[in-house]
């Protein structure tokens, strides 16, 4: 390690590494809390911003706006990826989290359709676009940031905390929905209670930006900066020199994103609209499963340091390919214990993917283009197959009349990713480039 890299770590590298993980985890948790709250209040938002005599049509419109935010993620990945590879991870990630805070606060202050008519959904869509722009720079940047601080042999474990933070954000979103559902009357929740989590968005900018700005950049980035090896055109380099790796990142994201958003976000609405479970019950099930998911991730990340990334990633794909249909049958039965079992099995197999995947993504690319290339491959797949997953699931049910139709979407993504995983090499035991 170079002198500059050692200086970046300080006299106690382990302490600095833990501080870096904390900055990435807390900032990412707050970021994804804001992003996830929209999904957990989708039913309420559909009534306020997309009123219709057909509840399914309103929900479809709400999920469509949710997905529209994801369309900006590739743009965000390019903008913040280039900035992060040229000027450092720390600066890019500080800007990312502050933008998310402002856009989330804006949603909490928006007037409803009853107040301003068609302007309500238009303004909502605009705020979601800004959220998507921010989220596009978050996942790849925080992944690069955390993994580049990890010592050799512990990248899987250290990197897994990035996914812990994402799951933690969803967990906080679920907790807020559950607490408000139990604490407030339905009328109060619809009138003003749903706004409360969004209004906390401004806290994200202050806390997250402070935590990220106060730390030096990663040792790996500092090293290439010292040797004047920073990419001056990271987007062009990623596309021309690492097209296979970028496409691989896209391919291994198909299962990751489809399973993630179906099992952790959509299933709560599925239990309510198809299984006819009371909303507080469905949200409580989701909250408990999310908590278990967050706990499991570091263990699967650590396991990947010992056995490799590919065995766990492939096991997750197999689990979803084989079990998705029967699990949707359980979740549609309208029985709370069955719904819990269905979601628990889903999140168990998702944890096998979530733990190793940050390190697996980061190991595909060299430091000089990691932020940009990783973000592009990941975010294009998420924009197409993750953000629209709740919309696609709801649309499939409506068009086919089959409440189990979303299972085939998840199965297809799992099979495609499994095939791609058979074609890549194991990177867990190689030195980070």
- Going from N- to C-terminal start, the domains of the chain cover 3-421
Rounded to 10 degrees, the C-alpha dihedral 160/351/321/399 comes to -100
The fold for domain 3-421 equals: Growth Hormone; Chain: A; (1.20.1250)
CA 66 to chain centre: 13
DSSP 3-state assignment of 423?
coil
Within a 13 Å sphere around the CA of 121, how many CA atoms are in the beta-carbon half? 17
Per-residue pLDDT of the chain (433 residues; tens, 9 = 90+): 444 444 444 445 566 667 777 777 776 777 677 767 776 777 777 778 777 666 666 666 666 676 677 778 889 889 999 998 988 888 888 888 888 888 888 888 989 888 888 788 888 888 888 888 888 888 888 888 888 888 888 899 999 998 888 878 877 777 777 788 788 887 887 788 888 888 877 776 777 777 777 777 888 888 888 888 888 888 888 889 989 999 999 999 999 988 988 887 788 878 888 888 888 888 888 888 888 999 999 999 999 999 999 999 999 999 999 999 999 989 888 888 999 999 999 999 999 999 999 999 999 999 889 999 888 988 888 888 876 777 777 788 778 878 788 888 899 999 999 999 999 989 888 888 8
Give the global pTM: 0.81
Residues in the chain: 433
CA distance 143 to 161: 9
CA pair distance 339, 330, nearest whole angstrom: 6
Tell me which residue of 390, 389, 368, 364 sits closest to 378, measured CA to CA.
Answer: 364
């Amino acid at each position: 390690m170079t002198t500059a890299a050692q200086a970046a770590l300080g006299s106690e590298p382990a302490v600095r590494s833990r501080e870096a993980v904390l900055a990435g985890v807390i900032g990412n948790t707050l970021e994804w809390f804001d992003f996830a709250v929209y999904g957990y209040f989708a039913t309420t938002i559909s009534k306020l911003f997309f009123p219709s005599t057909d509840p399914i049509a309103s929900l479809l419109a709400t999920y469509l706006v949710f997905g529209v935010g994801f369309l900006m993620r590739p743009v965000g990945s390019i903008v913040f990826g280039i900035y992060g590879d040229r000027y450092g991870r720390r600066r890019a990630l500080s800007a990312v989290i502050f933008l998310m805070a402002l856009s989330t606060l804006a949603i909490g202050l928006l007037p409803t359709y009853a107040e301003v008519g068609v302007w309500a959904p238009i303004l909502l869509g605009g705020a979601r676009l800004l959220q998507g722009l921010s989220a596009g720079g978050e996942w790849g940047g925080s992944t690069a940031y955390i993994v580049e601080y990890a010592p050799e042999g512990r990248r899987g474990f250290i990197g897994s905390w990035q996914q812990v933070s994402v799951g933690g954000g969803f967990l906080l979103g679920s907790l807020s929905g559950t607490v408000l559902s139990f604490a407030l009357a339905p009328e109060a929740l619809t009138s003003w209670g749903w706004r409360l989590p969004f209004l906390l968005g401004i806290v994200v900018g202050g806390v997250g930006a402070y935590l990220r700005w106060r730390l030096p950049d990663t040792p790996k980035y500092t090293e290439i900066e010292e040797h004047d090896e920073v990419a001056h055109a990271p987007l062009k380099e990623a596309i021309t020199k690492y097209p296979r790796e970028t496409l691989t990142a896209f391919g291994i994201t198909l299962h990751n994103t489809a399973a993630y958003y179906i099992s952790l976000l959509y299933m709560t609405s599925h239990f309510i609209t198809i299984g006819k479970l009371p909303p507080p019950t469905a949200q409580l099930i989701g909250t408990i499963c999310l908590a278990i998911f967050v706990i499991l991730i570091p263990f699967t990340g650590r396991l990947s340091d010992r056995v490799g990334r590919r065995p766990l990633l492939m096991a997750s794909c197999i689990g979803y390919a084989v079990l998705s249909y029967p699990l949707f049958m359980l979740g549609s039965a309208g029985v709370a214990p069955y719904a819990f079992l269905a979601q628990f099995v889903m999140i168990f197999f998702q944890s096998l993917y979530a733990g190793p995947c940050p390190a697996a993504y980061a190991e595909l690319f060299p430091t000089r283009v990691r932020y940009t290339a990783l973000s592009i491959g990941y975010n294009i797949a998420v924009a197409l197959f993750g953000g629209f997953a709740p919309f696609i699931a709801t649309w499939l049910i409506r068009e086919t009349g089959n409440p189990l139709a979303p299972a085939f979407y998840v199965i297809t993504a799992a099979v495609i990713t499994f095939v791609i995983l058979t074609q890549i090499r194991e990177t867990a035991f190689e030195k980070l480039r």
